[in-house]
Amino acid sequence: MPQLYPPSANTLVRWTLIGGGVFVVLLVTAMTYLARTTNNRVGVPVAQPVDFPHNTHVVDVGLDCRYCHSTVETSSTASVPSTETCMTCHSQIRTNTPQLQAVFESWESGQPIAWNRVHDLADYVYFDHSVHVNNGVGCSSCHGRVDQMRTAFKAEAMTMGWCLECHRDPAMQLRPRSEVFNMDYRFPSLPEVQRAIGEQLIEAYHIDTDRLIQCSTCHR
């Protein structure tokens, strides 16, 4: 029987398979990198309808996180400030400032301010702020040094792997409840010291470490 394909056809098929495999690996790597960095918009300030400098309100004015995010200790959501919250101060302070025009218009019309989300987890992810806050996870651990941000941005990619790092070893991320809202809190420089503190807090707060790594904890 005559040969239908030249000997070079075997080489062509071989290199096509190798090239295809390399392409798939590079594609998956590139997509993973994109999802964890550029597409996650880490470090990119999110424009808001009202120019709200967090650093001014937190450092200069001295507002506690809970003044605006009032449900963070009792609800799965941290909530965003209502117009009434803003007007508590701005009915008396900087009442003629153009940057606050959207606040005044909201107050007069009764239409809430359409704040833009900085952190928006996927719909299949369940996240409870109150559980984290009441068990010693500080705001800055997830949101970064908001007190130093002119405009708020994502400080962490908040991927599944990033969350699991904490859930698998929570002792290294816990702090006393009294320090949860302290943006300048510093963990002990020696890991063994933090681990000892963290283990004590796990026992004191009755944290079920086995449940932390179960799928149903975050995917319900």
pLDDT greater than 70 at residue 13: no
Per the DSSP assignment, residues forming a β-bridge with 42 are 154
Q: Between 25 and 195, where is the model more confident?
A: 195
Query: Do 170 and 74 share a domain, yes or no?
Result: yes
Confidence of residue 10 (pLDDT cuts 50, 70, 90): low
pLDDT of residue 181: 97
Residue 50, domain member (yes or no)? no
Query: Do 125 and 174 share a domain, yes or no?
Result: yes
Q: What tokens were used for 149?
A: 């941000």
Query: Do 17 and 74 share a domain, yes or no?
Result: no
Report the mean per-residue pLDDT for the chain.
90
**Domain span at 204:** 69-80+119-218
Query: Do 75 and 175 share a domain, yes or no?
Result: yes
Q: Are 55 and 148 in contact (CB under 8 A)?
A: yes
pLDDT of residue 22: 82
Residue 143, domain member (yes or no)? yes
Give 127-186 pLDDT, tens digit per residue. Answer: 999 999 999 999 999 999 999 999 999 999 999 999 999 999 999 999 999 999 999 999
User: pTM value?
Assistant: 0.79
Can you give the C-alpha Rg of the chain in angstroms? 25
Give 54-86 pLDDT, tens digit per residue. Answer: 999 999 999 999 999 999 999 999 999 999 999
- b/e for 29-64, b at 16 or more Cβ within 10 A? eeeeeeeeeeeeeeeeeeebebebebeebbeeeeee
- b/e for 118-156, b at 16 or more Cβ within 10 A? beeeeeeeeeebeebbebbbbbbbbbbebbebeebbbbe
pLDDT greater than 70 at residue 9: no
Q: What are phi and psi of 52, to 5 degrees?
A: -115, 100
- Structurally, how many domains does the chain consist of? 2
Cα–Cα distances (Å) from 127 to 106, 132, 147, 200, 220, in that order, read 30, 9, 23, 24, 10
